[in-house]
Structure 1
Amino acid sequence: MQVRSFQLSDYSLVTALLEDVLSPECCAQTMEAFGRQLSWDSDLVLVAQEGDAIVGMIIGTIDHNRGFYYRVAVHSDYQRQGIGKALTQGLRQRFVQRNVSQIFITADEHNEPILPWYESLGFAANDFFRSFQKLSIVAG
């Protein structure tokens, strides 16, 4: 499995992954944020590739020297294999390279169920950024 930057040729595979893994409402919000993040800074969108398949992806953003994990998605057949952790570590490296002072997890209604997973990675409750603003407003 390889974690790498998103490439335009990944678009249809990433879209299919998000449609498969996320609820319709979450997928629509994520696709909107995904498009905006690609226009701002595509280096903060990473994919996990296994062979020819995209099995996971993560969207991050930076706002005022703070890094945010916005959305992580891993194909159901590949969950609990360390792919989500590898994606968050890859994005963390990008944040460190850019001298981000703090890293937060966007804790919207769709991420609430996986906050315990982030805690298992060492994040604490004060690392969760709860806001009703969407990524397009937070980072814009």
Structure 2
Amino acid sequence: MGMHVGNTSSSGEPEVMMEINTTPLIDVMLVLLVMLIITIPIQLHSVNLEMPVGAPPTTLIKPEKIQIDIDEQSVVYWQGLPVSAQELDEKMKAVAPQQPQPEVHIRPNKASQYAVFANVLSSSKRLGLNKIAVIGAEQFVQ
């Protein structure tokens, strides 16, 4: 282990320091950082939206409501009149292209066969009726 005792040069002049003093640089950088933090505005965590003003336009044309009932003997009724499966398909084909499309309300009885209900539901989807509601589903809750 060695120790630097003094000047090794014979001329008596001090050696040139080859390292830079970084302390003033660090001080200047810290002052700049503090100034930057102070001058940056506080960021808000909200999004400004421009929402439309006024009431939305109301549609004057209300869709027709078609009531399909299934009774306890699994007979299908179209607007209160009994129909066969073929007549049901024909009536659905006739109302499917209407604009606005009619709302189909299916009201099955708890004692009716599920196959009849499933057939009515699949026929309505197959023929292009998209607005379908099952009415009276609370009777199936135990």
Query: Which structure has greater strand proportion?
Result: 1
TM-score, structure 2 as length reference: 0.29
- Tell me which of the two structures has the higher relative contact order, counting C-alpha pairs closer than 8 angstroms and 6 or more residues apart: 1
Which structure shows the bigger proportion of residues in helix conformation?
1
Question: Looking at CA atoms only, which structure, 1 or 2, has the larger radius of gyration?
Answer: 2
